[in-house]
Chain A
């Protein structure tokens, strides 16, 4: 159908103009700023080419931050997928208490993370925390979970997994619903009656495309970790929990080195783009399945 130019401008114009102003142009500006030494509030700035990127390469904080983010990404993605998939398979395998379990595992997704972070801080408290109490019942040594150099990042990852696995679970549940029941009937007729057998030879292979999708979603979300870091550890102790967004935040909005922070942002966006492209490639494959 065709419509008049004026109508087109009125219907489509606002969204296109705003998309350019609020998304595309800022992204372009970030790319340009990353080639300058501009500091927020300064009147002058110089083109410095790729110097910011060269500096990033040498910058110990950034390196640490990048490695930490990847470490967090792997821990949280793997943890969420294993728990999410396990919960989805077990919950869907029988109808008893199905709704209760689904609600319980999804509750963390539905809660305000920053508020729940305070609860976790209390649970992980070195002297009054419940986790250390439980640990001492078993005769183990209490730990300072959020302030110990080696434990702080894994502790944050535990909170991350707790928050994300419910999301992975509902996506796997949706994937399970898409497996045609005829296939399961057929597998039973073919004598595939052992559930473990069926899990590995039928269910999991058919969940392949869903799994790829869930992996990329978890990865993209983990890359964006910021809230719990800022509130619980501020990147410490000694940069043990410094992650990309937190480093960008510090450089850009505490030290106001906007040029340098922009270069970090470009790297951050590039990482997210890679996962998005993988996701889209996978989605194309999924449509071939159907």
Chain B
């Protein structure tokens, strides 16, 4: 609801002035990145701000970026790792969420306390033991090392349980009367009803692991196995941080997938990312 003062012209002008200034500042790094990625080296170091280059060097910059380091390989690795983590997280968390939401059993309070405790543990806290464990299992510097630590998502259980609690018991009784097993019940009845929550969780999970830098940095040393953030670091070292044209072209390629995803599905994306507020 707008009040008279809030629709008055001076107020509207003030609102736009403040918000537009902020928006330009917030968007500026993206504009600068894109603009630099199109320019040849001599123009990059020219003073003043020119949005478009006088002499286009987009082709050179982007081909250099793509050939210097295997950028597309990093993106593919990112997709593989995120998909692997997400599928396993769902496979493991959904049945557990159903059990917590809809059944009674001995030790339920204790098991739930375990889930709640896990919610509070920041991932970095487990890095040292998991590193040692993977070292002894001979799994360091493999894709599995990027996936395994994350497959038990307490947050996934927590979130899906909240949703499953709202599913009518009659639906479950009816399915059982139809002779459905508990497993079929989870995957054929409950999962379809939980799609909104599942999508939000998926976005949360994918964004989190796509952007994670700490863990890949610890366990991956082979360039070809890097995910996009780690690849960015390799790329920066390769370019020794001075050849800004190709460097910015590379960052465009790295940031684009997630940004396009965000622009295409903003509401859902914001929903998913905001969940990270609940999980520290």
Contacts and interface: CB of A to CB of B under 8 A. Distances in A.
* Genuine A/B complex: yes
Interface string B123-158: 011111111110000000000000011011010010
Given A114-B232, A272-B120, A167 B129 contact: no
3 closest cross-chain pairs (CB), A and B: A18-B152, A26-B129, A26-B126
Given A3-B105, A8-B103, A16-B114, A118 B15 contact: no
Nearest to A14: B92
A115 B103 CA distance: 46
B3 interface: yes
Nearest to B262: A110
B255 A224 contact: no
A100 B23 contact: yes
A104 B27 contact: yes
Given A90-B15, A224-B124, A15 B132 contact: no
B251 A116 contact: yes
Given A226-B214, A269-B122, A1 B262 contact: no
Given A114-B213, A121-B241, A276 B120 contact: yes
Contacts of A105: 22-23, 26
Given A23-B118, A27-B126, A226-B214, A15 B27 contact: no
Interface residues of B, number: 99
A194 B276 CA distance: 36
A30 B126 contact: yes
A181 B44 CA distance: 52
A90 B152 contact: no
A261 B125 CA distance: 10
A2 B104 contact: yes
Interface in A109-126: 109-116, 118-123
Contact of A273 (B12, B120, B273): B120
A227 B30 CA distance: 19
A8 B251 CA distance: 47
A265 interface: yes
13 contacts: A11-B183, A15-B95, A15-B96, A22-B148, A112-B228, A115-B250, A120-B29, A171-B274, A221-B280, A226-B124, A231-B236, A249-B217, A265-B124
Interface stretch (B45-53, B54-62, B191-199): B45-53
B76 interface: no
Interface string A264-280: 01001100110110000
Contacts of A273: 120
B268 to A, nearest CB: 12
Given A97-B19, A107-B262, A167 B273 contact: yes
A4 to B, nearest CB: 8
B98 interface: yes
Given A106-B270, A121-B241, A245 B124 contact: yes
Given A103-B263, A252-B128, A15 B93 contact: yes
A213 B277 contact: yes
Contacts of A230: 213, 217
A195 B128 contact: no
Q: What DSSP secondary structure best describes chain B's contact surface?
A: helix
Interface residues of A, number: 100
Contact of A185 (B1, B36, B129): B1
Given A107-B262, A114-B232, A8 B99 contact: yes
A248 B122 CA distance: 14
Interface string A215-240: 00100110110110011000000000
A29 B32 CA distance: 46
A12 interface: yes
B232 A2 contact: no
Interface of A: 1-3, 7-8, 10-12, 14-16, 18-27, 29-30, 33, 40, 83, 86-87, 90-91, 93-94, 96-97, 100-116, 118-123, 127-128, 130, 133, 162, 166-167, 170-171, 174, 181, 184-185, 188, 193-195, 213-214, 217, 220-221, 223-224, 226-227, 230-231, 245, 248-249, 252-253, 258, 261-262, 265, 268-269, 272-273, 275-276
Interface in B159-186: 169, 172, 182-183, 186
A108 B22 CA distance: 13
Given A97-B16, A115-B254, A115-B255, A130 B241 contact: no
Interface string B80-112: 000000000000110110110011110000010
Contacts of B182: 3, 7, 11
- Between B169, B262, B280, the greatest number of chain A beta carbons within 10 A of the residue's beta carbon is seen for B280
B274 A111 contact: no
A106 to B, nearest CB: 6
A8 B108 CA distance: 11
B201 interface: no
A221 B30 CA distance: 23
Interface centre among B122, B214, B254, B273, by most chain A C-beta atoms within 10 angstroms, is: B122
B7 interface: yes
B94 to A, nearest CB: 9
B38 interface: no
Contact of B255 (A19, A112, A127, A188): A112
Nearest to A185: B1
